[in-house]
Chains A and B, each alone.
Chain A
C-alpha cells in the first residue's frame, strides 16, 4: 500500500501542472445549513448541536439550523448568508439529493454561483429515519456533515455546453420497423437515409400471407407506408447496401455505406421482358423454397424499389436481357459504390431471422414435408409455386393430417434460447386456422407447451381457432420422424392433460420456429459499438425506461432487433425510436453537463485501461496519441477512473481527491468523536 501512497504524493506534487484540476480556485468559504424538517430530523438528531459542531470545521464560515430549509424563508436565509458571508460553497444537511439538491443549487445559481458548488447531505433518509438512538443519530449526522464539508471544500464548477448537431438520421434496416421510423422522422422534417441490405424494402412483413389478429393482407396494410417512404422527398432509400464503417458520436456520426451493384439502372420500368428471356431459373430466396425466379428478377411482384436485379452468381452472361430491354437498363459495368453520410442519430431496425430447426435433429427438418411457418406463409402466398394451395411439398397431394409444432427453438435450453418468442403462438394459431379454413376435412393438430396470447383480441383469436375444430394437444413432441415404411411423418407426443402418449401420422408438419437475431448483426453491432444481449439481439439501454435506446448514445433501436415482437409492437416500438432519435435533432443542439471524464496527458502512460473499460466507448485513441475522452459521449459514470493505474483519468466533481477527502474526513471525525467520548 505504501506504493500507492507514493503515487498519491507524486500526483500531488504534479497537480499544479494539471490545468484541469481546480487548483487555482479561490479559498473555500463554506456555509452549513442544518434542517429540522419539522420533527422528521430534529425529533431524532440534535440539529443545534450539529450546526454548532459544523461551525468548527475547516473552511466553514457560517453555520446555522432552520425549521424547513426548502421553504421560501429557508431559501432566503441561505441566499442572505451567501451574500453576507461571501460564501462560495453551500452544504445543506437535510433530505435526499433527489428531493432537494436542485432546489438549493438553483438558490445559489440565482446568485451567480455555479450550481455544482452546492452539496447535499442526507441526514433524513440516511440518518434520522433509520436510527433509533438519538445520541447515535446526532453523532452520525456530525460525521456526515464533516464529510460533506470536506467534499464541498474540494468542489469545482461544472459548465454546461451546447453542442450543435447534424440534422439528419440514418435508419438501418428496411422492415416495417425501419419504414415506420423513417416515415415518422421525415414527417418531422428530418432528412433520412434508409439503408437496406436486400434488393427491396419491407422485410419479413412482405413475406407474410395474412396477419393476426385480423387476418388482413400484410401487403395491403404496409404498401401505403412502402410507397410513402419511396416517394418521400426527405427519405433517401439505399437498397443492396450495408453500413461498413461508423465514426464519431451522437450529434455527429460519420457513416460509410457500401452499395452492391444491381446491374440494372433505375430507369427500369419493371416490364419483365428480361426475366421472360432469361434462361436461368433458380430458387427464390424470398419464397423459402416455394418459388422460383430468373437470374434477373424481382423477388415479388410488388417489390420496391420497382427495379429488377441481376444476380451475377447465377447469370451465365448470355446477354439476352441486355438485348431485349427496351430502355437499356441492364448494365454489366456497374460497380460497388461507397458513400459516407454525416448524421446526428442512427436508428437500427435490422429485425430478426427465423430460427433454423436443423439443429434439433429429432425433428428432421430438411424433409420436404416438414416445413417452418415462414415457409407456410410463402406456400399460402398466391404468387408462389403452389399458387396458394396447401399441399405436401413431397408429392403435391392435399394433406389429410397436419401437425403444427410450437416452441421450436424457443424455450429450449438445449439450443441456448431460453426465451419465449412470444409471437409464434399467435402465428401458429393463425396458420393452423388458415389450413383448417382451406381444408375443412383435414385434421389439424396443434402441439404446444403453453399457449401465450396476451393482449387485446389475441385470446379471442385463439378462441375462434378453437371453434374451427383444431385439435389442441398440450405436449411437446419428442420426435418428428419420416416413416421409413411409408410416406407419413410420425409425430410422437404426450397429451399431458390425459397423460396419453400418442403417435400422430401426419402428411405435413409445420414447425413454429422462433425468432432469433439476424445473421451478420454481430458485425454491424461491432461497427456501431452496441452491446448485445446473450441471445444476440441488441441490448436496450434500460429494459423498462429505455427500450428504444441502445447502449450507445445517439443510436436507437426499432422493432424486432431489440427482441422478438409482433407487428403491432414493432410499429409502436419504431415510433418510440423515431421520436427519441428526433428529439435532439429537433432541438438542434445537445445540452450537456460537463462533469465528464478528463485525462491528464502528462500523467497518462497510454496503457489504454480506460479505453477498454468505458462501457459506452467514450474514450478513443488515435495512432501515436494519448487517449481522448469524447465529452459528448461520456456519461460521467466514472468506471474508467479506477481502471487507470496512475490516476490520470478523473471525472469532474468525482475526482479521487474529492472522494478521498470526503472519506478521510468522515473517518477522521469518527475517530475524533469516538476519542472524545472516552
Chain B
C-alpha cells in the first residue's frame, strides 16, 4: 500500500521529522483558506496527491502567488491524471528556501534481504537516476536488523559523500527516525526526496514516500483509516476483490491465473503479433463473482477485440474455473466479444466437459490458444 505524500508526512511529523507547513485540500474553499493560513498571503506550492513518481515533470507541482491563482490551479490539478493516475487531493505548502537537496531512503536489499540505507548528496531526482548518472553521489549501507543502523555507519556515508559536517547530527537523527518508522510500520520503502537544507540550516522533508507491506496491513489498523481518503482506483478495488489487475492498453484482454503465467501470456501475445490489454490474475480465488468482475473489467476496456482465458491448474481446479466462467458469462447475459479458452491441469477433463456443454470450444495447448486470440484481433 502506497501512502499519499500528505499521509506519509503526517507520520513523519508524528515522529519528529520536520516537514513544511501545509494543508491538504479537497475543495476550492479549503484551497482559499490554505492560501491564507499556510502562505500567509505569499507564494504557496500546490502538489497533486497521486500514487506515482515523477509528478513534478508531469506538471503536478505548481506555485501560486494569489488566492485566485491558487484556486484555479487547484481545479486544474484535480481534473488532471498523472501518468494515468487520478489526483486525490492537493497539498498546499509554504515555499521552502532551499540551500541544498539530499536523498535518504530505506528499503529491502534484494540480494541480502536486509534493510538497506541509501543516502545521496544529490536530492530531487529519482534514486535510479542518481545511481546511473552519479554513482559516487550515492552511499549505501546494508544493515544487520539485530542492531539497527549504527550512527557511525551513517556518519561514514555522510563523510564519504562529502556532505557538510554541520549536517552530520541532524541527518543521522533523520535516518534513525526513518528506520524507526520503517520497522514500526512494516514498510517496504521509506524515502525523503528531496530532504532539503533550508536557509536557516534545518533539514526538512520536502517530499515523503512510504510504502507499506500489504501483507502486514493486518497489524496496522491505524492505516485502514487512511484508506478512506484513497480516490477510487480500479486496481485497488479489484485487488481487494481478488483480481490482480493492471491496465496496459492493447487489444487482447487476458484473464489468467498466476503472476508468472499472466506475464508469460502477455509476452506471448506480444510475440505473436497481438497487444495484451492488461495484466489480470485471478488466482487469488476463483469463483463466479471474481470471474464476473474480471470479465466485466476486461470486456469494457477500450480497444479490446478478444478475450483470452488461460490457466494451468494446480491449486486451481479446472472444473471450478469452467463452472465459474460459465456462471459469470451467463449472469452477464453473454458478451459480444469472442472468448478463447485454454485450460490445462487439475480436473481438466471435467472442465472441458462443462465448457463443451455450454457451447465453448476449449484449448489445452497454450500456443494454439494465443494464436487464435491474436488472429481474432487482426
Do A and B form a real pair? no
